[in-house]
Structure 1
């Protein structure tokens, strides 16, 4: 299966953002930046009661946004199957990140789907319980 790094003509997207709220903004950002190793891209405060931080990989094409609201935010993660999966080029790179998360105080959890373990993946919860799976190689 080949890869095509261009967006379809019918969907000429310039950026992708996955956003969610949290009541633990500082802890969540610390997990993703200091623990996982993503970069902080942008931060804002006091926008109609919202504050937030965007984190991501190099560049700004794909990023995560975490927000909080002065009146509170939604509760816990919806299920053990709502995942952010990061694929590495090799097992050594994945192991470095897994070791950093463990040293950061994050305990690995069992994956709900046995596919991840069978293919060498490790699963870690963020401070809100949302799960991040690190995989030792790309799928395609």
Structure 2
């Protein structure tokens, strides 16, 4: 186990609490830019596409995540459009990397796709060397090294 894997871990944090015996987590949100959002998370961040569906009660969607993992992101698009409001600058998905080289490679890939680094809303992230980018809908992704974790 790498040192970064041990950060913040205790016997209590290694398992789900008995009061919440969930076995899988999916974070889902709508978008009116499904193809652009998938390109950002799949081609930019590098999350593999796990599943895609279309025409399900007016919804199309794509699930992205790590193969074999019990958590993934789902993006959906409805034929009538999305009523979702724009996110705030502090709605974040935070991804931690072991080092700056890995973080910077992902940031460079996103920049090449037209998603440059933006200043973070919370100065904590900039002070700890994290990089913030916005997806096509304005939702922010923070690319941090494990030193920002604890």
- Superposition TM-score tier, normalisation by shorter sequence: over 0.9
Map of 1:134 onto structure 2: 143
Q: Once structures 1 and 2 are overlaid, which stretch shifts more, 70-79 or 102-111?
A: 70-79
Q: 1:69 aligns with which of 50, 75, 78?
A: 78
Where 1:120 maps in the other structure, the secondary structure is coil
d(CA) in 2 for partners of 1:18, 1:8: 19
- TM-score normalized by the length of structure 2: 0.87
Q: How many residues align structurally?
A: 140
CA-to-aligned-CA distance 1:68-124 (integer Å, 9 cap, x gap):
001111245320010000011111111111111112221111101000001111110
Structure 1 residue 5 displacement after superposition: 2.2
State whether structure 2 residue 135 is matched by structure 1 residue 92: no
Q: 2:134 aligns with which of 117, 121, 125?
A: 125
Structure 2: runs of 5+ lacking an equivalent: 1-7
Contact 1:120 1:136 in 2 (8 A): yes
Map of 1:47 onto structure 2: 56
- TM-score normalized by the length of structure 1: 0.93
Contact 1:41 1:60 in 2 (8 A): no
Where 1:58 maps in the other structure, the secondary structure is coil
Structure 1: runs of 5+ lacking an equivalent: none
d(CA) in 2 for partners of 1:17, 1:110: 28
Where 2:146 maps in the other structure, the secondary structure is coil
Q: 1:104 aligns with which of 83, 102, 113?
A: 113
